[in-house]
Structure 1
Amino acid sequence: MRQFSLQNEIALITGGGTGIGLGIAQSLIQAGARVVLSSR
């Protein structure tokens, strides 16, 4: 069950290569957001 929708939203995630940042990025993608990741 989708709890919220982020259609047409853009999220910038720093530290998105692993751990919490990656988990948040995956959740945002599932909610419909476009995600830009930045990592080392």
Structure 2
Amino acid sequence: MGFPIAISIYLLHRFENKIESLENAIVQLAEVVKQKKE
């Protein structure tokens, strides 16, 4: 019972880190687009 839970928590943690880096990339991209329009 404990092992699958450990794997789930590990995967969720990694997934969360990937989502955060993706979010940062989107924000940076939005800034670049804004600068190009000005």
What TM-score results when the alignment is normalised by the length of structure 1?
0.34
The structure that has the greater radius of gyration is 2
| Higher strand proportion (structure 1 or 2) | 1
Higher relative contact order (CA 8 A, sep 6+): 1
What TM-score results when the alignment is normalised by the length of structure 2?
0.36
